[in-house]
Structures are given as C-alpha cells and as structure tokens.
A = this chain, B = another copy of it.
Amino acid sequence: MPFAPLKNDTFLRACLRQATDHTPVWLMRQAGRYLPEYRATRAKAGSFMGLATNVDYATEVTLQPLERYPLDAAILFSDILTVPDAMGLGLSFALGEGPKFEKTVRTEADVAALAAPDLARLRYVFDAVTSIRKALDGRVPLIGFSGSPWTLACYMVEGGGSDDYRHVKALMYARPDLMHRILAINADAVAAYLNAQIEAGAQAVMVFDSWGGVLADGNFQAFSLAYTHRVLSQLKREHEGARIPRIVFTKGGGLWLDDMKPLDCDVLGLDWTVSLARARAAVGDGPNAKALQGNIDPNVLFAPPAAIEAEVVKVLDSFGRPHSGAGTGPTHIFNLGHGISQHTPPEHVTALVNAVHSHSRRLRQAA
C-alpha cells in the first residue's frame, strides 16, 4: 500500500544538492520536552521507553512540532540506544536523568557474548515509521536514524552517559581488539536497523555520532569514522524508486571535515563551532561534495525573538547563497548544532523557523 505523494520535498532536494526556493529547516529533538503537548503524552505513557515503544504515542509526538511550526522534515521519535537495548543490555531512563543500561560491555566475556540483535525486537520502531509516514500524509519527508557504532559503544561500555569516557577509552587503549569487535558488531547492526527503517518508510536516514568528537586525532578515524563507512557501505541507496539520502553528524567533528569528505553520504551535519563558510569551501562542492546541515547554537533560543532572527541571518549568510538552477551545487539545511533544550520557550522556535524561511528567500533574490 503506497504512501501519499510528498507535498514538500524541499528537504530531500537540499540533501541531494538540488536547488530549492528556501532553505529547509528542522530541529534535532524537535519532538521533545520543551513542548507541553509532548510532556502530556509522555505522562500518559508513563516512561520514555513506554512512549518510544508505543506506535500511537510515537506517531503522536513525532507530529506535534509540525502542528506548531512550518518545519520541512519530520524525524522519527525514538532513541539512539534502541539497538543496544535490543542486544539485551536493558535500557531505561529515570525521570530527569539520562539513559542507563542494566548490563555493561567491558570484559572479553562481555564482548564474546555480544551479537547483532534480532530485528524482530525492534519491530516497534519499524511499525512507528510506517504509522508516522501514514499520519504525515505527504506533508514533509520522514527521517529515520541511529546512533553511530562508536557512540553506541560509548554507552554500552560506560553503561550510560559520561563526562570523561574513562571506561570506553580505557578499553580502547588497553584492548583495541575488543573495541574493534564491538564496533564491527554495532556497525552491522546499525546498517540492518537503518535498512529496515527505510523499508518501513523512512525517506532519509541520519547517523548520530554524538560522541565522535571526544576521540583523539587518529582514533576518531580508526574507531569512529571507519565504522561509519562500514554502516554506509551496507545501506540501501534507493527504496521503491526513490533515492534515500544519508546524513552523518559528528558532534565536535569540525576538525575532521577533510577526513569525512570521502564518506558515501549526501549530507554532513555540523555544530556551531564550525564556520559554514569554511565548511562549504572544504566539502560543499567538487568531487565527493556534501550538502551541509546545521549549525546554530541551541542556546540562541533563550534570547528574545529579535536576537534570534539576527543570529539566524548570521548563520544563513555564513553559508552564503545556495545553488540555484539546474543540476547540483552547494546547499544548506538549517538546523541546530545539537538537540533543542528542554528549557526552550516554544514561541521562540516560531521566530527561528520563520526567520530561516524569510531570510533564505531574500538570500536567493539578492543579486
């Protein structure tokens, strides 16, 4: 049963470096705690995993930000840690705290026991993708996603968040063989997981390498980037005749743009430390060119609307005038450089989204 045809393909066109009449915008974690309607649904669901594993709730919260703001894409409501949860590590979220795993992966025996999960255990995710695609009814495209192999490994070894990555790095430095084994398993699992999301209806996929930026130069290439390559090499390029764009976002990865250029992906996500002008010069055009996604500091949203608009203009101007006309060329997808804060005033997001649309149209009209 086919889904409804797409009414707004701006995001997908920009991913593929094709001209658009405005710069598309979506926000990492756009369905989230800053929205009162999200908090109401979460209260009904009882827990974060109760929300994420219930198809109706996941569909409901995915669409909530689209009711408020003219965003150009939706992103599946889920968590980056569903894959290690399905490996049997036991994911939970205490209220107001980060993710926790019941089991950690630290010893040779732990690693030997690790295997890619049965995708049937992730059925709730694929069902949510299909349900959301139906509910979207072609309004905007739906993005699927996963954590990167390295980022998943950080949580699997640490057992949760960390401010020093002591355990995962100790394992990496002391037993690189074990770390490579974990990463290989993760990469194959992530690829299968993303392919199943594509088959269920995801129209683009994003790999969140949220912790790639904590690695030393040299180790980023060997322990994060190499396994992102391994994921991408196994991904479906098309589904039912439509090209499926791939986005890779390494938080704190601005130093390694040249290393990322050979990635077989369409878009690179950037955080606010990176100059969009420099990134465009480095990877925005020529062989292996990428579209760029990002990169305003989410804390801008705590300033008054006039200041938000001024910062949006700075970011758009920093990228400069995007490609226009036929063929392909440098394009920009506006986003935050990190997930939106739960403390964000919802009405400030309106100012941001409207400023992106209006200024990016002006930018295209400028001589």
Q: Which of B166, B170, B213 contacts A273 (CB 8 A)?
A: B213
With an 8 A cutoff between CB atoms, is A124 at the interface? Answer: no
Indicate the member of A217, A252, A300, A343 with the most B CB atoms within 10 Å: A217
With an 8 A cutoff between CB atoms, is A70 at the interface? Answer: no
Stretch among A13-21, A113-121, A198-206, A301-309 lining the B interface: A301-309
Chain A, 292-332, CB within 8 A of any chain B CB: 296-297, 299-300, 302-304, 307, 311, 314, 318
With an 8 A cutoff between CB atoms, is A286 at the interface? Answer: no
Q: Which of B169, B219, B273, B302 contacts A252 (CB 8 A)?
A: B273
* A273 and B173 within 8 A (CB): no
Q: Which of B174, B215, B252, B297 contacts A303 (CB 8 A)?
A: B174
Indicate the member of A165, A170, A299 with the most B CB atoms within 10 Å: A299
Work out how many copies of this chain go into the complex: 2
Chain B residue, CB-CB nearest to A257: B255
Query: A165 contacts which chain B residues (CB < 8 A)?
Result: 299
Distance from A40 Cβ to chain B, minimum over Cβ atoms (Å): 24
* A170 and B252 within 8 A (CB): no
For A36-54 the 0/1 string (1 means CB < 8 A from B) is 0000000000000000000
* A164 and B299 within 8 A (CB): yes
**Complex Cα–Cα for A215 and B254 (A):** 13
With an 8 A cutoff between CB atoms, is A57 at the interface? Answer: no
* A274 and B304 within 8 A (CB): no
With an 8 A cutoff between CB atoms, is A95 at the interface? Answer: no
**Complex Cα–Cα for A170 and B299 (A):** 6
With an 8 A cutoff between CB atoms, is A218 at the interface? Answer: yes
* B174 and A273 within 8 A (CB): no
Known A255-B254, A255-B273, A255-B274; contact A303-B216, beta-carbon cutoff 8 A: no
Query: A296 contacts which chain B residues (CB < 8 A)?
Result: 216
* A275 and B217 within 8 A (CB): yes
**Complex Cα–Cα for A160 and B252 (A):** 23
With an 8 A cutoff between CB atoms, is A341 at the interface? Answer: yes
Chain B residue, CB-CB nearest to A215: B273
Query: A173 contacts which chain B residues (CB < 8 A)?
Result: 297, 299-300, 302-303, 307, 311
**Complex Cα–Cα for A64 and B341 (A):** 43
With an 8 A cutoff between CB atoms, is A220 at the interface? Answer: yes
Distance from A318 Cβ to chain B, minimum over Cβ atoms (Å): 8
Complex A-B: 28 CB contacts under 8 Å: A163-B163, A164-B299, A166-B299, A166-B302, A169-B297, A170-B299, A170-B303, A173-B297, A173-B299, A173-B300, A173-B307, A173-B311, A174-B302, A174-B303, A174-B304, A215-B272, A216-B273, A217-B274, A217-B318, A218-B275, A218-B314, A218-B318, A219-B297, A252-B252, A252-B273, A255-B273, A255-B274, A255-B275
Q: Apart from A169-B302, A217-B272, A218-B275, what 20 extra A-B contacts exist at CB < 8 Å? A: A163-B163, A166-B299, A166-B302, A166-B341, A169-B297, A170-B302, A173-B302, A173-B307, A173-B311, A174-B304, A216-B272, A216-B296, A217-B275, A217-B318, A218-B318, A219-B297, A252-B252, A254-B255, A255-B273, A255-B275
List the 5 shortest-distance A-B pairs measured between CB atoms, nearest first: A170-B302, A169-B299, A173-B303, A216-B272, A174-B303
